[in-house]
């Protein structure tokens, strides 16, 4: 069944240069952003490792808390991108403004909620990651940066 579909694809069709240039042009910014993030995360982890096991463990946990928030807020960003594209394409600018407004409100609300939870409940949250009191104490010293 799939054999016909698979063999109907030709290499020139797949490697159509005009379409590939368009894809790379659209994705250049996100590609550069991703490279910068990977470099930053790797550098941060390497420097943490140079500072010893305790610092590495603490920074890894705090970094996980940061990523948890980032992934949560990214959900609102992805939804906003979809809605903005939909409403711009349909020339529905009233709905576009509402989508932007509510995406901003929900994203900020989610961020503030996480900050409050991290500020108030940081020890129970940290206990999810480790039972090492020394690591938890070091994390709590720097959890304000996560908040």
pLDDT of residue 8: 64
Classify residue 64 as left (phi > 0), alpha (psi -120 to 50) or beta. alpha
Give the pLDDT confidence of 111-122 residue by residue, as tens digits. 899 999 999 999
CB atoms near residue 96 (< 10 Å): 17
Mean pLDDT to the nearest integer, 108-134: 93
What is the value of pTM for the model shown?
0.73
Spatial contact of 40 and 70, defined as CB atoms under 8 Å apart: no
């Amino acid at each position: 069944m799939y054999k016909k579909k698979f063999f109907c694809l030709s290499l020139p069709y797949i490697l159509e240069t005009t379409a590939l240039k368009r894809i790379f042009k659209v994705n250049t910014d996100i590609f550069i952003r991703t490279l910068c993030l990977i470099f930053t995360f790797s550098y941060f982890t390497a420097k943490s490792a140079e500072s010893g096991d305790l610092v590495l463990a603490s920074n890894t946990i705090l970094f996980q808390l940061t990523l948890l928030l980032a992934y949560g807020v990214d959900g609102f960003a992805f939804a906003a991108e979809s809605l903005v594209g939909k409403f711009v394409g349909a020339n529905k600018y009233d709905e576009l403004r509402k989508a932007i407004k509510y995406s901003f409100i929900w994203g900020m609300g989610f961020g503030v909620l996480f900050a409050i939870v991290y500020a108030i409940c940081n020890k129970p949250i940290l206990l999810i990651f480790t039972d090492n009191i020394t690591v938890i104490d070091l994390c709590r010293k720097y959890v304000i940066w996560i908040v």
